[in-house]
């Protein structure tokens, strides 16, 4: 299991990059009213056949050629289910994939949320040519971060240029902190 839910964010979003997605969306929702945390990963990557969707939650399924295990989705499923949540995968070949995971917010086995800003920041600086749309909905207050807007503002400077990436990091951190006052784990 991952130590923090935010580690799963990086891991699962990376699947979208590997699937050749131009745009990867990661939506995080925290709802105390529903007692639920929801992650939605949506991409316009190559998608998966129905058969692959069925088997992809098995640890011994991977598209990797180098070895025969892939643990990202099985780990996410395990974490979701042990907190009373669910994992749902929908995919269409040539269109993209949507992965939805839910976690019981106050479940005793729920790992801490961890550093969502750090996870998002890592995705952007490690994949500076890719587009990301992030949203964080905290009890109805929503923060949206869109790399396409940032890119338009800074072009032709790449997003991983030091000062630009520092701005992105600071932006993600302060906006997420502002949402929940820094006291949500």
Footprint on this chain of other proteins (rule: CB under 8 A): 1-3, 7, 10-11, 14, 64, 66-67, 70-72, 75, 115, 118-119, 121-122, 125-126, 144-146, 149-150, 153-158, 160-167, 169-171, 174-175
Residue entry with tokens 């989705």:
73
Q: Output 6 or 36, the one with its CB closest to other proteins.
A: 6
Q: How far apart are the first and last CA of the chain?
A: 17
Q: Cβ 115 to other proteins, closest distance in Å?
A: 8
- Minimum distance from CB of 33 to other proteins (Å)? 26
Coil, helix or strand at residue 57? coil
As measured in angstroms, the least distance from the Cβ of 126 to other proteins is 4
Residues 6 or more apart from 170 whose CB is under 8 A from it?
A: none
> For residues 36 and 83, which CB has a smaller minimum distance to other proteins in the complex?
83
Nearer to other proteins, 52 or 75 (CB): 75
User: Helices then strands (H, E): number in the chain?
Assistant: 6, 6
**Token digits of residue 20:** 């050749």
Tell me the closest approach of the beta carbon of residue 160 to other proteins, in angstroms. Answer: 7
User: At its nearest, how many Å lie between other proteins and the CB of residue 35?
Assistant: 27
- Closer residue to other proteins in complex, CB, 92/177: 177
In whole angstroms, give the CA distance from residue 88 to residue 33: 22
Task: Indicate the residue among 98 and 169 with the shorter CB distance to other proteins.
Answer: 169
Sheet holding 96-104, edge to edge: 87-92, 96-104, 36-43, 23-31, 131-138, 141-146
Task: State how far the Cα of 126 lies from the Cα of 118, in Å rounded to an integer.
Answer: 12
């Amino acid at each position: 299991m991952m130590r923090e839910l935010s580690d799963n964010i990086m891991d699962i979003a990376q699947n979208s990059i590997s699937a050749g997605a131009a745009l990867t969306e990661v939506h995080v929702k925290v709802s105390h009213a529903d007692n639920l945390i929801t992650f939605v990963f949506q991409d316009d990557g190559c998608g998966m056949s129905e058969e692959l969707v069925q088997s992809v939650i098995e640890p011994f399924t991977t598209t990797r050629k180098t070895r025969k295990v892939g643990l990202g989705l099985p780990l996410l499923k395990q974490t979701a289910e042990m907190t009373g949540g669910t994992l749902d995968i929908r995919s269409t070949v040539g269109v993209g994939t949507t992965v939805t995971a839910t976690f019981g917010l106050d479940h005793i086995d729920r790992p801490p949320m961890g550093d969502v800003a750090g996870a998002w920041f890592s995705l952007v600086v490690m994949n500076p040519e890719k587009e990301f749309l992030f949203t964080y909905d905290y009890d109805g207050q929503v923060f949206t971060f869109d790399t396409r807007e940032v890119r338009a503002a800074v072009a032709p400077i790449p997003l991983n240029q030091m000062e630009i990436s520092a701005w992105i990091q600071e932006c993600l951190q302060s906006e997420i902190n502002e949402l929940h006052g820094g006291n949500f784990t």
